[in-house]
A and B are shown apart, each in its own frame.
Chain A
């Protein structure tokens, strides 16, 4: 198996303790850092798809993302500062009144693996804070808002409306257990994803369209 295919396979299998060595070996063989990174991004795409279809579960996804992060650490000194986040910056947070963070954290991890720089505002984030974060950070292309409770659906709506009303040129993606594609469209979001795997796919699609 070529070294780059091995890197790909080990990221997918979540071999966190092996990946740094493998990435170094791939570099030593003369493979470009950018190509190794792309292989890992592709791996995480496969992981995301498998999570979306129920073939794998949260631990497998977490461990794969951790493996990729360890590989990226080896590559970073060799790459232009922003090339690991070529899709821009994504602001992410759980909306006001909602303290759930597990789903949001998984989405953050997967969206980062797809090539975004993440700025995580945490939980219970007021609508205006999303807007402030867009202004305070460079090259923000996407905002991801999460809401898990039926009771915080109005806060999700307020967050999307506030971001859109600011006139800032960013895409907004929403998700969370009670959110449907219809509701996402109704409140003016640009995209919706039902889980972390498809969130990464949708995020990329929104900013490259």
Chain B
């Protein structure tokens, strides 16, 4: 029997896996690295960039607040006046828990995988609101290029510290690039503004020993897959069924692996049942196949919103492994 790590590599290289890679099992996700303030349920917080997030009780996630009072970037042409990157935390104390976690991982079995979020695209709209961010790509492209370069430099500075402390095997990086039915921007615009930034960021991780880039975007993004490959993404996590995942696997399989095809919205809800989960998992495994595919809830971390869903999905994938391998 292959180790979890070997089985992952066989799956993404088009070899001979002996079972499905089961959801997030190959990543030991390091959440303890000092990435700044994140909002938790019931809170309103302002992070180190000055962005205010609100997560009302009972909601499934937090949202940046963009009323006139709270919007950080009020005029893209004056972004230097409004946007001040925080210093990357370089204290041993701040990194101690992450280092301890990374050191405890059996790297023959799993990939030490730091979690990094939000990404460059999300940062632009967290700072200024979605409408302003998207319109600025047209109206003030030079300023947007400058802002994106500035955000990229910050990511690279953080990456340098993270790599020197944790020596990660993989990276789990979040940046949602679309809605459930379309990408937010056209592939050409994505290529102009965001691909160069990510080529730098992901290139830096790879040049420094990171073997796998796993990118989360639980959206439509089929039209962006060539860009994802160009950026150096090895695994796109969060691929929704709206992308027609089996077709993507046929078209791009040897170049990138697709992780998801189990839409959290359809499975992870209060009325879930083992039967609903089994039906979705069977469909995903049978239509997507054994190579370049990892069955997984599209949610961006290794848990579910409603108790029991993640575990039941894992059990259903195990059953499909027994049936199909």
B56 within 8 A of A: yes
Give the contacts of A34-64 with B (CB-CB under 8 A): 54, 56-60, 62-63
Residues in A whose Cβ lies below 8 Å from that of B63: 99
Report whether A194 and B185 are in contact in the complex, using a CB–CB cutoff of 8 Å.
no
Q: Known A59-B185, A177-B179, A177-B181; judge A151-B269 contact (CB<8 A).
A: yes
Instruction: Indicate whether B91 reaches chain A with its CB closer than 8 angstroms.
Output: no
Say whether B156 faces chain A, with CB atoms less than 8 Å apart: no
Contact B56 A99 (CB under 8 A): yes
A27 within 8 A of B: no
Chain B residue numbers with a CB within 8 Å of A194 are 181
Within 8 A of B (CB), among A145-170: 149-151
User: How many positions in chain B have a CB within 8 Å of any CB in the partner chain?
Assistant: 25
Q: Which of B56, B186, B265 is the one whose CB lies under 8 Å from A149?
A: B265
Chain B proximity mask over A1-38: 1 for CB below 8 Å, otherwise 0:
00000000000001011000000000000000000000
The answer to whether B269 and A177 have CB atoms under 8 Å apart is no
B181 touches A195 (CB 8 A): yes
Interface membership of chain B positions 127-139, coded 1 if the CB is closer than 8 angstroms to chain A and 0 otherwise: 0001100110111
- CB-based nearest B residue for A109: B131
**How far is it, in angstroms, between the C-alpha of A178 and the C-alpha of B265 when the chains are bound?**
8
Please, which residues of chain A bring their CB within 8 A of the CB of B139?
A: 16-17, 63
Main secondary structure of the interface of A (DSSP, over half): loop
Q: How far is the CB of A89 from chain B (nearest CB, A)?
A: 22
Per the bound structure, the CA–CA distance linking A59 and B184 in Å amounts to 8
Chain A positions 45-87 with a Cβ under 8 Å from a chain B Cβ: 54, 56-60, 62-63, 66
Q: Interface readout for A82-99 with B: 1 if CB under 8 Å, 0 if not?
A: 000000000000000101
Q: Tell me the minimal C-beta distance from A157 to chain B in angstroms.
A: 14
Contact assessment for B135 and A63 in the assembled complex, using a CB-CB cutoff below 8 Å: yes
Q: Is the CB of B138 within 8 A of A150?
A: no
Q: Which residues in B have their C-beta under 8 angstroms from that of A102?
A: 130-131, 179
Report chain B residues within 8 Å CB of A105: 130-131
Q: How far is the CA of A105 from the CA of B134 in the complex (A)?
A: 13
Q: A191 within 8 Å of B by Cβ?
A: no
B182 within 8 A of A: yes
B182 pairs with A151, CB closer than 8 A: no
CA distance A66 to B180 in the complex (A): 25
Cβ-based interface call for A103 (8 A) = yes
> What string of 1s and 0s marks CB contacts (under 8 Å) between B251-276 and chain A?
00000000000000110011000000
Q: How far apart sit A60 and B139, CA to CA, in the bound complex (Å)?
A: 11
Tell me if A59 and B138 are in contact (CB < 8 A): yes
In the docked arrangement, what's the CA distance between A103 and B131, Å? 11
Q: Quick one: which of A14, A62, A66 has the most chain B CB within 10 A? A: A62
Cα–Cα, bound, A60→B189 (Å)? 11
| Chain B residues within an 8 Å CB radius of A103 | 179
Q: Is the CB of B134 within 8 A of A62?
A: yes
Please name all residues of chain A whose beta carbon is closer than 8 Å to the beta carbon of B189 when the two chains form the complex. Answer: 57, 59
The docked-state distance in angstroms from the alpha carbon of A59 to that of B56 is: 29
Q: In whole Å, how far is B262's beta carbon from the nearest beta carbon of chain A?
A: 14
- Closest A residue to B134 by beta carbon equals A59
With both beta carbons as reference points, the residue of chain B lying nearest to A124 in the complex is identified as B56
Assess whether A62 is in contact with B182, with CB atoms less than 8 Å apart: no
Interface residue? B60 (CB, 8 A) = yes
Q: How far is the CB of B37 from chain A (nearest CB, A)?
A: 19
Q: How far is the CB of A29 from chain B (nearest CB, A)?
A: 28
Is B186 a contact of A56 with CB atoms below 8 Å?
yes
Query: A62 near B183 (CB under 8 angstroms)?
Result: no
A57 to B270, CA, bound (A): 33
- Chain A residues contacting B130 (CB-CB under 8 Å) are 102, 105
**Interface residue B58 (Cβ < 8 Å from any Cβ of A):** yes
Q: Which residue of the partner chain A has the closest CB to B61?
A: A99
Q: Which residues of chain A come closer than 8 Å to B108, judged between CB atoms?
A: none
Q: Is B183 within 8 A of A63, CB to CB?
A: no
**Can you name 26 A-B residue pairings with CB atoms under 8 Å?**
A14-B138, A56-B186, A57-B182, A57-B183, A58-B182, A58-B185, A59-B137, A59-B184, A59-B189, A60-B186, A62-B134, A63-B138, A66-B135, A97-B59, A102-B179, A105-B130, A150-B265, A150-B266, A151-B269, A151-B270, A177-B179, A177-B180, A177-B181, A177-B265, A178-B265, A195-B181
